[in-house]
Structure 1
Amino acid sequence: MDRRGVSPEALAAFVVFADHLNFTRAAAQLRISQPALHVKIGKLAQALGRPLYHRTGRRLVLTADGEAVARFARAHDERLAQFLTEFAGAVPQRPVVLAAGQGAYLYLLGDTIRAVLTDEPTRLRLVNCDHRQMLAAVRTGQAHLGVSVLDVLPEDLTAVAVATFPQMLFVPEGHRLDRPGPVALPELRGTRLVVPPQHRPHRVLLEQALRAEGVDWTVAVEAEGWPLIAQFVALGVGLAVVNGCVPAPAGVRARPVAGLPPVTYHLVHQPSALADPRVAGLVERILARD
């Protein structure tokens, strides 16, 4: 390993590249040419002796080593900024970054975020993203914490359960399944369902459960976010299986679904993250939200 090639300048450039995973946009932010950025990233990878990214189809994806480098570079920059701030006798201003999806912000984290921002408005910065982007942000150090429903718990990160909800079926009033009591999965045979896009954890788990029961169904529409999914049900587009924290809109009833496991939101962070008292404090507040 050539330590001379692992310069602060190279690490700073790699962080920008890791944020965009696009040489054109990253070079524009750094105000250098795209070939120059290629050279910087290439020399950094050569100095470390490991590939830092690879191409999957048209997308660039960080390798595990690339995620580690980005995480180290961000932590180094944060420590340096904090040292310089304290050295100058000022109060550190760098916020804790929380990454989560729409559902977590709408139905889970609102009171905690309001309280934190009331106490110290500069303490928290929020990132809205899906679960894959959340995991990438935590792995690369772009976010200190993440909250999401996960189909598979990450082995390299600490994941703590925050809240668990039953799965509910949204049905328009007057529908044949608009009746008291739980709905069994076989009763969904032949229905049109409003579902999240493919590869979302909720969609994956729902498809697996329906397949296991031999239930044939069709996609009425793919929708991003619980409010839009609920609105499509209210319009009569189809039925939807949703997390139990989602309120039913007017004209729609929520029925428990038998045979589906409850859904758990997890708080995710690096194993070493709680060494930062700011992060540890936010974790404590999220877990004590009730």
Structure 2
Amino acid sequence: MFPAESLPSFLVFAERLNFTTAAAELHISQPALHVKVRKLAEAVGRPLYMRQGRKLVLTADGEAVARFARERAEHLEQFLAELEGEHRDRRVVLTAGQGAYMYLLNDVIARESTRLRLLAGSRTDTIAQLRDGQAQLGVTVLEDLPEGLDTVPLVTFPQTLVVQRDHPLAEYDEVRAADLDGMQMVMPLPGHPSRLMLERMRAAAGIEWEVAVEAGGWPMMVNFVELGVGAAVVNGCVRCDLPMIPIVDLPPVSYYALYRRGALADQRVARMLDEIRRSLGST
């Protein structure tokens, strides 16, 4: 028989991956928590966690059980809230990256802060948090649509070159990749999707530049441009007082809303998506 009563305790353990911390949060003893996790593992027939070095990590089966436990808790919470007439008061968990929060979602967050709980991370984090049920709605840049999630296009921006006001390109209406040849560049961190895209562009255009500094996040990159360290390529949604010139032979950047299939059956999620689309003029 599946010990469903152990699911809430396992969910806390799965989120903490520490028996001491999870047991304290649950107000039970560590041995009692071990028993609950063991019973679930016995019911599944496979380990739910393992040790990697000094850390505990969930196995694939453990992640599946945690996802089921989270969805079960959400459904129960939604059911009880509807019974109590409080459906509209529960918070939607929104996940997005730094750029989306700073340049796209400010108005929505200001208006809807009491209805939102926010998670922040990379594009990979956003997709993972939606898939495993930590978040209900996400906003991020996508080049390829992820499997298992529904997507709605929100807004598209050109990729732009940010330079100092006295830069030779500052008065241009548009530039091409070839115009970046020989420039000092402020670059995203290695491995960042934008960095990979720029390296592909450099190779295709047959140009060279010097990496003056590597920085994480558009605000830091723009700050280095202001300091005269070099030029930077950023999404056109970035707002700053420096010249921003569209790069016509780079593909535009498209932001999407993402959610698990069936998530819009929850009126709170559907309403929040509508609010985001209205604020960005994408309805």
TM-score, with structure 2 as normaliser: 0.83
Change (3 A) 1:85 1:171: closer
Q: In 2 relative to 1, CA 31–213 (structure 1 residues): closer, same or farther, beyond 3 Å?
A: farther
1:214 partner amino acid? G
C-alpha separation between the residues in 2 aligned to 1:283 and 1:113?
12
Q: Residue 217 of structure 1 aligns with which residue?
A: 209
Q: 2:4 aligns with which of 2, 7, 21?
A: 7
Secondary structure at the aligned position of 2:200 is classed as: helix
Gap change, CA 1:85 and 1:187, over 3 Å in 2: closer
Farther-moved stretch of structure 1 (45-54 vs 69-78): 45-54
Deviation digits for residues 189-245 of structure 1, max 9, x if unmatched? 333322222333222222222222233334322222222211110001121101111
Q: Which segment drifts farther, 138-147 or 214-223?
A: 214-223
Contact 1:67 1:139 in 2 (8 A): no
Tell me, yes or no, if the aligned pair for 1:191 and 1:217 is still in contact at 8 Å: yes
The answer to whether the 8 A contact 2:176-2:247 is kept is: yes
CA shift for structure 1 position 157: 0.8
Partner Cα separation in structure 1 for residue 53 and residue 188 of structure 2: 23
Residue identity in the other structure for 2:164: P
CA gap 1:61/1:158 in 2 versus in 1, 3 angstroms: farther
Pick the aligned partner of 1:268 from 245, 258, 265: 258
Partners of 1:151 and 1:204 within 8 A in 2: no
**Contact 1:192 1:217 (8 Å CA) reproduced:** yes
Structure 2 residue corresponding to 1:127, chosen from 119, 122, 127:
119
Aligned residues: 279
State the partner residue of 1:241.
233
The residue identity in structure 2 corresponding to 1:195 is M
Separation in 2, partners of 1:61, 1:263 = 35
Aligned counterpart in structure 2 of residue 231 of structure 1, from 223, 246, 249: 223
C-alpha separation between the residues in 1 aligned to 2:196 and 2:53? 22
Structure-to-structure mapping, 1:27-106, within 5 angstroms:
29-30=25-26, 41=37, 44-49=40-45, 66-87=62-83, 89=84, 91-92=86-87, 93-106=89-102
Q: RMSD across aligned C-alpha pairs, in angstroms? A: 3.0
In the alignment, is the contact (CA less than 8 A) between 2:136 and 2:263 conserved in 1?
yes
In 1, distance between residues paired with 2:123 and 2:46?
27
Partners of 1:151 and 1:205 within 8 A in 2:
no
Percentage of identical aligned residues: 52
Instruction: Identify if the C-alpha distance between structure 1 residues 274 and 220 changes in structure 2 by more than 3 Å, giving closer, same or farther.
Output: same
1:258 to 236, 239, 248: 248
Question: C-alpha offsets along residues 101-148 of structure 1, whole Å, 9 cap, x if unaligned?
Answer: 12111211122233334xxx3x22122222121111111111100101
State how far apart, in whole Å, the 2-side matches of 1:177 and 1:140 are.
46
Unaligned 5+ segments in structure 1 are none
Q: Given the superposition, is the C-alpha separation of residues 55 and 204 from structure 1 closer, same or farther in structure 2, using an over 3 Å criterion?
A: farther
Q: Counterpart in 2 of 1:286?
A: 276
CA contact (8 A) 2:136 2:260 kept: yes
- Cα distance change on mapping 1:24 and 1:239 into 2, 3 Å: farther
Partners of 1:49 and 1:81 lie apart in 2 by 29
Amino acid corresponding to residue 274 of structure 2 in structure 1: E
Instruction: Give unmatched runs, 5+ long, in structure 2.
Output: none
Q: Is the 8 A contact 1:160 1:266 kept in 2?
A: yes
Q: How far is 1:265 from its partner?
A: 0.7
Quick one: structure 1 residues 180 and 95, their matched pair in 2 at CA, closer, same or farther if it must change by over 3 Å?
same
C-alpha distance in structure 2 between counterparts of 1:36 and 1:190, whole Å: 64
1:143 matched to which residue of 2?
Answer: 135
Residue 91 of structure 1 aligns to which amino acid in structure 2? E
For residues 155 and 239 of structure 1, what CA distance do their matches in structure 2 show?
A: 36
Match of 1:189 in 2: 181
